[in-house]
Amino acid sequence: MKFSKPAKTHEEQLTLLRARGLTVRDPDRALHYLRHLNYYRLTAYWLPFRDQESPRCFRQGTDFEDVLSLYVFDREFRLLPLDAIERVEVSFRTAWAYYMAHRYGPHSHLDAGLAKHVAWHVKNLASLEKEISRSDELFIEHYRQAYHHPEMPPIWAVCEVMSLGVLSRWVNQLPSGDLGRIAANYGLDQSVMRSFLQHLTYVRNVCAHHSRVWNRRLTITMKVPNRKPAAAAAVANTAAAPRNIYNTLVMLAYLLDIISPEHQWRKRLGKLLMDHDIDTRQMGFPDDWKKQPFWAEAAHAQDMRKEGEL
C-alpha cells in the first residue's frame, strides 16, 4: 500500500486528539508543546491512556497534562541511568586498566596474545586508534610529543578516551581468568559482568539519544546474577523482566553502593516516581518492590513525599 497521508498542522493535530477524547483545558499550552515536541514522539506516551475497546481513542477523563507529565518523567528519568552509567563506566575502565597494566605491562592492550580472537583484537585496536586520533586530551598530546614507541599511549591513558562500547568489546575478548579477577572487584561473576557491559552500552545510547526509556522493550538484554551479589535478591525473574528497565536499575544501584557508597541515587529515583505518580509495573518493577530491603531508600523517599517532607 502506498503511503498517502498529508502532514497535519499543529492545530489539526490538536483537533484530532480532541476528537479522540483527549481533554485539553489549555489549547495554547498544548499547541506550544506540539510545536516543540514532535506529535509522533508523544504517541508512545499516550499509549497507556488508550481506551481498551477503542484503541485509537483515549480513556474517559484523560487530560493532555497526563500525557505531558509522563513525557516529562521519562525525560528526567533518563538522566538517572546516565548518571549511574557514567560512574560505573569510569570505574570499570579503571579496574580494567589497573589490572592489565600490573599483570601484563603498560601496553598490554597491544598484545593480541591476550585476546580470545586475534581478528576481533585487530578490529578493537582500530576502533581505539580512531578514538585516540580524535582526542584532544592533554595527556594524549603529551605522549605523542614525548614518545615515539609504541605509538599508542599506555593502557591507563587510552582507557580515558575509550568509549563504553569499545571497552565492552575489549573486555569481551579477555581470557576468562583475567575477566573473573576484574569482575571480583564488584562481586560479580565474569559472565554477568561481560553481559552487563554490553547491555549498558545499549542503554546508555538509548538515554543519550533522548529515546523513550520508561516502558521500552529493551532489545539487548543482560544476564542477571542468580547467586551473588546482594542485588540477586532484588532482580525480577518474570518472563518479561529481561526486556524491562527494572533489572538494569537494580544492577546500577548495586554497583553504585560499591563505587560511590554515599550516593543518593535510590532516593532520587523514589522521589521522581512519586512526583509523577508512575505505574512502576510498566517498567518491570515487582508489586512488592517497596518492601524489599534493597529498595528501602527509594521507598522511604516516596513515603516522605506523600507526607510532605520532601
Residue 124 counted as domain residue: yes
Same domain for 195 and 241, yes or no, is yes
Per-residue pLDDT at 299: 81
Residue pLDDT, tens place only, 146-170: 887 888 899 999 999 999 999 999 9
Residue 72 counted as domain residue: no
Same domain for 128 and 188, yes or no, is yes
- Structure confidence at residue 139 as a pLDDT band (50, 70, 90): confident
* Closest CA relative to residue 84, chosen from 196, 1, 185: 196
Q: Is the pLDDT of residue 241 over 60?
A: yes
Q: Is the pLDDT of residue 5 over 70?
A: yes
Same domain for 100 and 244, yes or no, is yes
Mean pLDDT of 188-197: 93
Residue 308 counted as domain residue: no
- Structure confidence at residue 55 as a pLDDT band (50, 70, 90): confident
Same domain for 44 and 124, yes or no, is no
3-state percent breakdown (helix, strand, coil) of the chain, nearest 5: 65, 0, 35
Distance, CA of 186 to CA of 196 (rounded, Å)? 12
Mean pLDDT of all residues belonging to the chain: 91
Q: Is the pLDDT of residue 219 over 70?
A: yes
Residue pLDDT, tens place only, 119-132: 999 999 999 999 88
Q: Is the pLDDT of residue 180 over 90?
A: yes
* Closest CA relative to residue 218, chosen from 203, 205, 233: 203
Mean pLDDT of 10-39: 97
Distance, CA of 293 to CA of 107 (rounded, Å)? 44
Same domain for 52 and 142, yes or no, is no
Mean pLDDT of 91-99: 96
Tell me which amino acid residue 251 is: M
Close Cβ partners of 303 (under 8 Å, ≥ 6 residues apart):
none
Is 215 in contact with 231 (CB distance < 8 Å)?
A: no
The least confident of 55-64, 176-185, 293-302 is: 293-302
If you compute the radius of gyration of the chain from its CA atoms, what whole number of angstroms results?
23
Same domain for 57 and 190, yes or no, is no
* Closest CA relative to residue 241, chosen from 277, 225, 217: 217
Q: Tell which wins on pLDDT, 193 or 224.
A: 193
In this structure, what are the phi and psi dihedrals at residue 225, rounded to the nearest 5 degrees? -65, 140
Per-residue pLDDT at 75: 96
Q: Give how far the C-alpha of residue 140 lies from the chain's centroid of Cα atoms, to the nearest Å.
A: 29
Residue 278 counted as domain residue: no
Per-residue pLDDT at 188: 92
Same domain for 86 and 24, yes or no, is no
Mean pLDDT of 213-222: 94
Q: Is the pLDDT of residue 78 over 60?
A: yes
Residue 121 counted as domain residue: yes
Mean pLDDT of 196-220: 95
Single pTM value for the model: 0.91
* Domain encompassing residue 55: 11-62
Q: Is the pLDDT of residue 276 over 80?
A: yes
Same domain for 105 and 236, yes or no, is yes
Per-residue pLDDT at 142: 87
* Closest CA relative to residue 157, chosen from 185, 128, 181: 128
Three-state DSSP state, 23: strand
Same domain for 119 and 220, yes or no, is yes
Residue 41 counted as domain residue: yes
Residue 213 counted as domain residue: yes
The least confident of 179-183, 209-213, 303-307 is: 303-307
Per-residue pLDDT at 297: 82
Same domain for 55 and 136, yes or no, is no
Is 294 in contact with 225 (CB distance < 8 Å)?
A: no
Q: In 10 A of CB 224, how many CB atoms?
A: 20
The least confident of 49-63, 133-147, 294-308 is: 294-308
Same domain for 34 and 93, yes or no, is no
The least confident of 70-84, 126-140, 243-257 is: 126-140
Same domain for 82 and 54, yes or no, is no
The total number of structural domains that make up the chain: 2
Q: Is the pLDDT of residue 310 over 60?
A: no
Residue 163 counted as domain residue: yes
Tell me which amino acid residue 291 is: K
- Which of 21, 36, 62 is at the close of a domain? 62
